[in-house]
Amino acid sequence: MITAFFLVPDYLAPELVKESHISFLDLSTYELAFQLTIRDYNIFRNVLPTDYVNDIFHRIGGQKDASHIKEMSSLESLVNEEMFWVVHEVLQETNLHRRANSLKQFIQSCIHLKELKNYNSLFAIISGLDHSAVARLKQTWAAVSPKNRKKFEELKVLNSASIRN
């Protein structure tokens, strides 16, 4: 395989970098959900059912089996990382309509995550969209279609029902 490196004048470099940037809004919502599912699976497959039990007992003062601490920590980190990624993606948009489109993009991804039965990422994204820094964006949420806002409310109910049970 031959790799070619081309030198370009300094004045062209910023434009080339700008053209190579892919925006979150350019991504397919299904592909995003699918890739999150693959990423989650790579962590979930290493977590044993007993790891959850050990983690619960550790939280209430018991001993924790040290053999799978790393996997449980990875799982916890994954949820936090995905939630704060959502918050970051929405808040970094300075344009109201692009920010509203980000919300729509995440809601549509949640629908695909539900179909893929990836409840871990689904709940992480819902938590990110429901984070106070995002939830208080009243004008942005008003710019999201009523249909998508309704879908998000339905997903939030699913999320809150799972927490109660």
Please report, for the chain, the start and end positions of each structural domain, with discontinuous segments joined by +.
Answer: 27-164
CATH match for 27-164 among 3.30.460.10, 1.10.840.10, 1.10.3260.10, 2.60.40.10: 1.10.840.10
pLDDT in tens, the chain (165 residues): 444 455 667 777 777 666 666 788 888 999 999 999 999 998 888 877 777 667 666 665 555 555 556 777 778 889 999 999 999 999 999 999 999 999 999 999 999 999 999 999 999 999 999 999 999 999 999 999 999 999 999 999 887 755 544
DSSP-derived letter for residue 68 is G
The end-to-end CA distance of the chain, in Å, is 56
Phi–psi pair at 139, nearest 5 degrees: -65, -35
pLDDT of residue 118: 95
Say how many C-beta atoms besides its own lie within 10 A of residue 17's C-beta. Answer: 9
Give the whole-angstrom CA distance, residue 34 versus residue 116: 8
pLDDT of residue 73: 77
Rounded to 5°, the CA angle 115-121-93 comes to: 110
The pTM is what? 0.77
Residue with tokens 């809601």: 107
pLDDT of residue 161: 58
Annotate 99-143 with DSSP letters as a single string.
Answer: HHHHHHHHHHHHHHHHHTT-HHHHHHHHHHHTSHHHHT-HHHHHT
Q: Give the three-state DSSP class for 53.
A: helix
